[in-house]
Amino acid sequence: MQTLLSINNLTVRYGKDVALQIDQPIAIEEGDRVGIIGSNGAGKSTLIKSILGLTDYEGNIQTTLKPQEMATHMQFNEYTNSMPVKYIMEAILDTKIGKNKKLSELISYFEFEDCLRKRYSSLSGGQKQRFTIILVMMQEAPLTFYDEVTSGLDFETRQKLVEKLVEWYRDKECGLCVVSHYYEELEQLVEKLLILDQGHVIAFGNKDELFHKYCGKAVFILDNSLKNQKLLAAYERLEAPAHLLALSCNDAEKERELTELFIQNNVNYKRSNQDIEMIYVNAKAAYEKSKGRRK
């Protein structure tokens, strides 16, 4: 497998503040699907800008790719409103839609035909995202970055867009790096995770391996109610968002025990073996504990 990009000892400073500090080697390989997650200010967009050469950094970013072989979908995009998007698209891509089979197929794939005569400002949020995605995909880049590609869209539009992306990139050899705070979308799109917190890498690797490391074989997730707190008082719990309770399960016997307990007490629960939010919360807790930030 060819390595597309490797990062070593990367530091980005904004004035006197360190915005990003990557000490461990990070490698993105051909065919990788990497989800980049972290809270606001964690360094996600700073990382992408560093890779693309849009911000100064110290350290080493090595790549076999030329700048034009890396495509980027940024969170915010604006285009001229003086002409229909059909002509904007043709001008940016330097081709005619009617003469370009691939472009015509992408427009059809994303059901964008009815939008071509509209001006950019009159497009809905989902239509604007589809417009930019078409431009990005036309590059057929070996490595593509998507930064909050579904941000600001309603649930149904987000789901349809993610399904399109999953289908389009299935079995393709290009690498993808996806920044998103919608964990359920990343569960569909990515196979690896790069978890950032306050500019530091707290975990990087295959999401299944990270789940087993931080959460166990499976996780049971329940609402954080007084009833459920009492019910689980005798069990050791995982870290979880404030509104949830989570228990790790590593064997079939414990899984049967918990399932029977929930059924007998009429408790709604979710069982997962890939929940990215649980990976993030527990990886962050383990990192903070290792740094002496929490007991």
- Each residue of 184-223: pLDDT tens digit? 999 999 999 999 999 999 999 999 999 999 999 999 999 9
- SS3 at position 21: strand
What is the structure's pLDDT at 76?
63
CATH code for the domain of 243: 3.30.70
Distance CA 271, CA 173 (A): 32
Last residue of a domain, one of 116, 141, 166: 141
- Domain range holding 254? 211-290
CA distances for 62 relative to 8, 28, 52, 101, 157, angstroms: 8, 11, 11, 35, 37
Residue 196 placed within a domain = no
Q: pLDDT tens-digit profile of 18-44?
A: 999 999 899 999 999 999 999 888 899
First to last CA, the chain: 41
Residue 120 placed within a domain = yes
Structural domain tally of the chain?
2
Residue 130 placed within a domain = yes
Distance CA 61, CA 54 (A): 13
Residue 170 pLDDT exceeds 70: yes
Report the mean per-residue pLDDT for the chain. 92
Residue 184 placed within a domain = no
The answer to whether 151 touches 75, Cβ cutoff 8 Å, is yes
User: CA neighbours within 13 Å on the CB side: how many for 45?
Assistant: 11
Residue 135 placed within a domain = yes
Residue 1 placed within a domain = no
Q: pLDDT tens-digit profile of 84-106?
A: 999 999 999 999 999 999 999 99
| Sequence-distant (≥ 6) Cβ neighbours of residue 108 within 8 angstroms | none
What is the structure's pLDDT at 295?
47
When comparing pLDDT for 78 and 115, which is higher?
115
% of the chain at pLDDT higher than 70: 98
* 20-43 core/surface letters (b: 16 or more CB in 10 A; e: else): bbbeeebebeebbbbbbbbeeebb
Distance CA 108, CA 242 (A): 43
Last residue of a domain, one of 141, 165, 185: 141
Residue 121 placed within a domain = yes
The answer to whether 52 touches 7, Cβ cutoff 8 Å, is no
Q: Which range among 97-111, 141-155, 236-250 shows the weakest confidence by mean pLDDT?
A: 141-155
- SS3 at position 221: strand
Residue 8 placed within a domain = no
Last residue of a domain, one of 141, 169, 186: 141
Neighbours of 263 (CB within 10 A): 10
What is the structure's pLDDT at 80?
81
What is the structure's pLDDT at 293?
61
